[in-house]
C-alpha cells in the first residue's frame, strides 16, 4: 500500500469516526428534546394561554351546554351546604369562567380543580383565579368531564343539563362514600337529593352513599350475633334484623356516606341503637341502650 493511499484511508477513517461521534451527540440531543417536549405536554394544563383577549358571553354555545354563570349568592350557598373547608379538594365539572372553583378557594380555603372543554374559557378562568389571588389553589384544566379523572374529589360541583347529570351519575356513585355533590338547577333523576336549595335559582345536594345492601352478621356485648338484612336504593335503606329465630323490621334506618345508623328492640324489650361506619364489607361501630353501650363489629356475608 502506497503512503498516499494510507493517508487517504486514515483521513476517511477519521471523518467516519467524527461523523459517528456527531451522530451520537445528535441522537442524545434528539432524545433530550423529545423528553423535554413530553414533559411539557404532561405539565400543568392550566398553563395553556388561550386568547388573552377572550371574554365569554352568557348564553354562548359550548360542547354540550350553553354557558350561563351561577349567581354569586347561590354559589356560596352551594359550597356552604356541602360543608366545604380548607381540607377539601373541589372539582367543578364544566368550570366556565372559574367562578365556583374560585369561590371554593377564596371563601373556604379549599383546593379546587375546574374542568373546562373550551380552551379559551379554561385559560380565561385560570386568569380569573390568578387575578382573584387564589391562583395557587385553583387549577383550571382544558379537558372533557367524561374523560378526566375526578375520583380524588371530596366535593363535586356541576351546572350542566339533566341528561349530562344522568350520564355522570354512575361515575359519581362509584366515588368514595361521603363525597359531596352539588348541582345547580338540575337533579339526578330518581336519586333523591339529600337537600334542596332555592336562592335565585335551584340547587341540589347529595352525599355519595356506601353500598350496604345484603346480609350482615353483627356481634357485640349486647348485640348477640344478630343477622341484619338491608335493602338499598341510593341512600334510602330498610331491612330486617333477626335475633335467634325472631325477625323484626329495623327502626329509623339512616345512611349518610359510609355512616350507618338504625335501631331495634331486643328480646328483653330494650331499645337499642347501632351506629358506625361501613368500609367495604366490614362494619365497625357501637351500640347504645338505656343502661349501657359498647362496640359492635360486623361483616357482610
Write down the pLDDT at residue 27. Answer: 40
Query: How many of the other CB atoms lie within 10 Å of CB of 271?
Result: 12
d(CA 210, CA 279): 8
Percentage of the residues of the chain whose pLDDT score is greater than 90: 74
pLDDT at 152 over 60: yes
DSSP state of 208: P
Give the E-state strand segments of 199-270 in sequence order: 202-207, 214-220, 226-233, 236-243, 246-249, 251-256, 259-265
Q: Per CATH, is 72-207 categorized as 3.40.630.10?
A: no
Fold that domain 214-300 belongs to in CATH:
Lipocalin (2.40.128)
Q: Mean pLDDT for the chain?
A: 87
pTM equals: 0.82
Element (H, E) at 114: strand 111-116
Percentage of the residues of the chain whose pLDDT score is greater than 70: 83
Task: Give the closest residue to 168 by CA, choosing from 251, 278, 263, 93.
Answer: 93
**Residue 165 exposed, middle or buried by CB count within 10 Å (0-12, 13-18, 19+):** buried
Domain segments of the chain: what residues?
1-38, 72-207, 214-300
pLDDT digits (tens, 9 = 90+) for 7-55: 444 443 444 454 344 444 444 333 333 333 332 333 345 444 456 778 8
- Segment 55-63 shows an average pLDDT of 86
d(CA 1, CA 258): 89
Task: Give the closest residue to 94 by CA, choosing from 24, 36, 27, 165.
Answer: 165
Write down the pLDDT at residue 61. Answer: 84
- Segment 124-142 shows an average pLDDT of 98
Amino acid at each position: 500500500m502506497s503512503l498516499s493511499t494510507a493517508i487517504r484511508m486514515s483521513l476517511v477513517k477519521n471523518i467516519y469516526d467524527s461523523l459517528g461521534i456527531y451522530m451520537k451527540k445528535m441522537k442524545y440531543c434528539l432524545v433530550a428534546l423529545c423528553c423535554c417536549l413530553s414533559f411539557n405536554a404532561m405539565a400543568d394544563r392550566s398553563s395553556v394561554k388561550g386568547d388573552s383577549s377572550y371574554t365569554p358571553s352568557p348564553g354562548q354555545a359550548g360542547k354540550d351546554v350553553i354557558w350561563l354563570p351561577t349567581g354569586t349568592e347561590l354559589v356560596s350557598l352551594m359550597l356552604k351546604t356541602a360543608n366545604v373547608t380548607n381540607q377539601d379538594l373541589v372539582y367543578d365539572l364544566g368550570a366556565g369562567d372559574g367562578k365556583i372553583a374560585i369561590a371554593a378557594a377564596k371563601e373556604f380555603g379549599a383546593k379546587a380543580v375546574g374542568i373546562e372543554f373550551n380552551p379559551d374559557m379554561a385559560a380565561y378562568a385560570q386568569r380569573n383565579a390568578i387575578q382573584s389571588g387564589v391562583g395557587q389553589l385553583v387549577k383550571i384544566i382544558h379537558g372533557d368531564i367524561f374523560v378526566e379523572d375526578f375520583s380524588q374529589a371530596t366535593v363535586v360541583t356541576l351546572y350542566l343539563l339533566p341528561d349530562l347529570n344522568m350520564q355522570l351519575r354512575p361515575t359519581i356513585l362509584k366515588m368514595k362514600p361521603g363525597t359531596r355533590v352539588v348541582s345547580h338547577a338540575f337533579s339526578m333523576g330518581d336519586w333523591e337529593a339529600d337537600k334542596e336549595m332555592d336562592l335565585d335559582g335551584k340547587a341540589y345536594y347529595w352525599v355519595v352513599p356506601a353500598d350496604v345492601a345484603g346480609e350482615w352478621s353483627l356481634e357485640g356485648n349486647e348485640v348477640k350475633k344478630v343477622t341484619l338484612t338491608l335493602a338499598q336504593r341510593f341512600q334510602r335503606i330498610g331491612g330486617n334484623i333477626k335475633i335467634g329465630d325472631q325477625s323484626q323490621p329495623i327502626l329509623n334506618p339512616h345512611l349518610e356516606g359510609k355512616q350507618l345508623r338504625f335501631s331495634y328492640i331486643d328480646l328483653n324489650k330494650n331499645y337499642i341503637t347501632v351506629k358506625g361506619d361501613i368500609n367495604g364489607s366490614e362494619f365497625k361501630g357501637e351500640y347504645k341502650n338505656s343502661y349501657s353501650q359498647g362496640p359492635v363489629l360486623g361483616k357482610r356475608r
